[in-house]
Amino acid sequence: MELEAPLIGTPSAPVPEGGKAEWFRAEDGTRLRAAIFPGKGKVRGSVVLSPGRTEPLDKYFEVIGELQERGFVVLSHDWRGQGLSDRYLQNRLKGHAKGARHYLSDYKTLLDRYTDRLPKPWIQMGHSMGGCLSLLALAKGEKERFAASALSAPMLGVVTDDFGYIFARALTWVCTHLGLSTRYLFGDSTDPRTVSFEKDKIAHDRPRWDRFREQLAACPDLTVGNLTWGWLEFAMTATAFLRHSEETTRVDIPVLIVSAGDDDRVITADARRVAARLPDCRFVEIPGSWHEILMETDDIRAIWWREFDAFVEPVLKAASARPGASKAG
């Protein structure tokens, strides 16, 4: 059993009630961090919450509290390479990856470790990269564990700025196969803590943006910077798989995809295309929202929660009608 891990609370982002973080080991020995939070009142099920690129689980304390109030036990985690989980590289700021295999293996280990502590039904919840990997895990077999999946601005298409997709894909392949996979993309080593709110343009809500900066100041080790060629290779490969593989069409549990109308981090049109390939998917686009829907202004977040509540209600009702519905695992 690993030692208890820290949770990074601040005056503006207190640790949700009853939260406990732990270290656990991946199959290859990598040390990872996860945290579990009890539901309030009558427990209705569990949510497995997966953050996006650069995001530690601590950033989602507000969201976790809102899920607790809805009666959910919440399990969240730091993907390897970010948060307080072990990083791929000695330079902690580099946002690096080595394909999806490690992520999917870590996710399975996470679910196995917490199975007995998560009352059914299980609902996935993932943002951006976390949404991509959550859906990828379902396509690769984890759909048997979950009753539903709710995804916020999932990364299902990668923005290539002024480069066409085919050229960007080819350039990424060349760079990774020339041994440049750990190099910053175009050498951009900007520390995200030096980027202003106005330039970041990740969400419109300034207090929530400031709140996360306070957490980074309290624990600088949470910080992840710009991406490497290796990370981009992973992202382009994973998103292409979900857009084209037949395995995506076999994810037959209910899926909710909520995309941002003014997203410049991921391609909303690709999320719509993937949604059309899923057998049971509701797609919602929020006009005017920037990428981080769950960190947006209250009016935009209210749309997310309205959609989420309406989405999970029939799932919970169906689960409660089955024998042993409240049991963990």
Count of alpha carbons within 13 Å of 60, Cβ hemisphere only? 33
Burial of residue 305 (CB within 10 Å: 0-12, 13-18, 19+) is middle
What pLDDT tens digit does each residue of the chain (329 aa) get?
A: 568 999 999 999 999 999 999 999 999 999 999 999 999 999 999 999 999 999 999 999 999 999 999 999 999 999 999 999 999 999 999 999 999 999 999 999 999 999 999 999 999 999 999 999 999 999 999 999 999 999 999 999 999 877 788 999 999 999 999 999 999 998 999 999 999 999 999 999 999 999 999 999 999 999 999 999 999 999 999 999 999 999 999 999 999 999 999 999 999 999 999 999 999 999 999 999 999 999 999 999 999 999 999 999 999 999 888 765 556 66
Peptide bond preceding 121 in cis form (omega within 30 of 0): yes
Q: Would the CA dihedral through 149, 267, 83, 299 be positive or negative?
A: negative
Burial of residue 3 (CB within 10 Å: 0-12, 13-18, 19+) is exposed
Distance CA 317, CA 100 (A): 34
> Which pairing describes strands 20-25 and 4-5: parallel, antiparallel, or unpaired?
antiparallel
The pLDDT of residue 160: 86
The pLDDT of residue 327: 60
Q: Which long-range contacts (CB under 8 A, 24 or more apart) does 18-25 make?
A: 19/64, 21/57, 24/109, 24/110, 24/113, 25/109
Q: How many residues does the chain have?
A: 329
Instruction: Give, in words, the CATH class of 4-320.
Output: alpha beta
Residue ranges per domain, the chain?
4-320
Q: Which residues pair with 74 in a beta bridge?
A: 37, 47
Please work out, in degrees rounded to the nearest 5, the angle formed at the alpha carbon of residue 239 by the alpha carbons of 114 and 243: 110
**Token output for 32:** 């990872």
For residue 280, the SS3 value is coil
The pLDDT of residue 321: 84
pTM of the predicted protein model: 0.96
Q: Which residues pair with 49 in a beta bridge?
A: 76, 125
Say which DSSP state 128 is in.
T
Closest CA relative to residue 205, chosen from 130, 300, 306, 67: 300
The pLDDT of residue 320: 85
Closest CA relative to residue 13, chosen from 296, 206, 298, 214: 214
Cβ atoms of 135 and 150 within 8 Å: the answer is: no
Helix/strand number for the chain, H first, E second: 9, 9
For residue 23, the SS3 value is strand
- H helices of the chain, in order, are 61-69, 101-114, 129-139, 165-177, 197-200, 206-218, 229-244, 268-277, 298-320
